[in-house]
Amino acid sequence: MNAILVLEDGKIFKGKSFAAEGTTYGEVVFNTSMTGYQEILTDPSYKGQIVTMAYPLIGNYGINSDDMESRKPFVEGFVVRERSRISSNWRSQLDLEEYLQQNDIIGIEGIDTRALTRHIRLKGAMKAVLSTEDLDDKSLIQKARSSKGLIGRDLVKEVSLNKVREWSNKGKYKVVVIDCGVKFNILRELAGRNCRVTVVPAKTGAGDIMAFKPDGILLSNGPGDPEGVPYVVETVKNLVGKCPIFGICLGHQILGLAFGGKTYKLKFGHHGANHPVKDLKTGKIAITAQNHGFCVDIDSLNKKEMETTHINLNDKTSEGMRHKKLPIFSVQFHPEASPGPHDAEYLFDEFVKLMEKTRKRK
């Protein structure tokens, strides 16, 4: 079946559909990872976005139940140069087309993804529409332009759990994870470090969080604009000074806002598993996994309270910060990877060390 992807600036890409039929809307972005499409599909941070894979052949190792990063895929649409008709891997349980079909997600193949990636790189991420039913160029351009964007929009409420979940009930350290769209591997990394992990909905207040008597709090990744979730920012403000806090991705941005900083939208975001980040303390460079479209403004932070710990070597944007007195730190990238390199896993160890130090002081 024919399919068409139309961007709000009038750029048109025609191809063939696979999986679901219909019309879907979202901000179109590109991901530079060569593998890990299943983890990308199930990353809640992609809610509200149509994802283009820069690598040309996608789907060759199929889909399996072990590599899910959330309860279901959250991408609004999936764009590839070519989807593999054969899935060959001993862990594979179904192919990419079947998986997208089961979850009612439209896929499009046969377009020049290099041209699309370059266009986004030059013009910036923008609103788009992907359709198998409306193939009229003018109609789709108008639909793309009138669709919802990401700025100021609360997408966290669409991915967060609606009730408390015990991920692991054994461990020395009690960690409460505020679920803004948390990836499962963050929870696995915590549980693997002797942590008892409780996941709470994003709307949970500070009082209810502290009722769990946590040794530490993790602010998770999630989709969209951090300014669209002022209730989480307010919760974090009320948690400051109560126990160690570790923020990842959207959690990093929320911490920035909680300490009086500002955030802004990046031109095309950081999406992929090959982003170089420099640790300003050690001088070491880690290759990191990233997925975000917004960023903390380094210059807006109160330098008496917060210090920048990591920067992106591609564009010099904020990749990490910490409080100068309190046991609070955050990173913009994904130390849990999935997919991606494991260079930054040590940050979970740093979080555990902060919890241990705080316990000894009590």
State yes or no: 45 annotated in a binding site.
yes
State yes or no: 274 annotated in a binding site.
no
Return the ∠ at Cα 334 (arms to 329 and 337), rounded to 5°. Answer: 140
Listed residue (299, 304, 335, 337) closest to 318, CA to CA: 299
The dihedral sign for the CA sequence 120, 183, 309, 298: positive
CB 202 within 8 A of CB 229: yes
Choose, from 271, 275, 310, 334, the residue flagged as catalytic.
334
The DSSP call for residue 117 is H
Choose, from 180, 195, 249, 295, the residue flagged as catalytic.
249
119 is known as an active-site residue: no
State yes or no: 222 annotated in a binding site.
yes
Listed residue (179, 175, 210) closest to 195, CA to CA: 175
State yes or no: 250 annotated in a binding site.
yes
The dihedral sign for the CA sequence 189, 190, 196, 201: negative
243 is known as an active-site residue: no
State yes or no: 320 annotated in a binding site.
no
State yes or no: 294 annotated in a binding site.
yes
State yes or no: 212 annotated in a binding site.
no
State yes or no: 253 annotated in a binding site.
yes
- Residues in CB range of 28: below 8 A, 6 or more apart: 5, 7, 49, 50, 52, 79, 116, 120, 125, 126, 127, 128
CB 61 within 8 A of CB 34: no
Helices (H) and strands (E) in the chain, counts: 9, 19
270 is known as an active-site residue: no
The half-sphere exposure of 256 on its side-chain side, counting CA atoms within 13 A, is 30
CB 18 within 8 A of CB 107: yes
* Residue stretches of the annotated binding site for L-glutamine: 45, 222, 224, 250, 253, 291, 293-294
Residues recognised as catalytic: 249, 334, 336
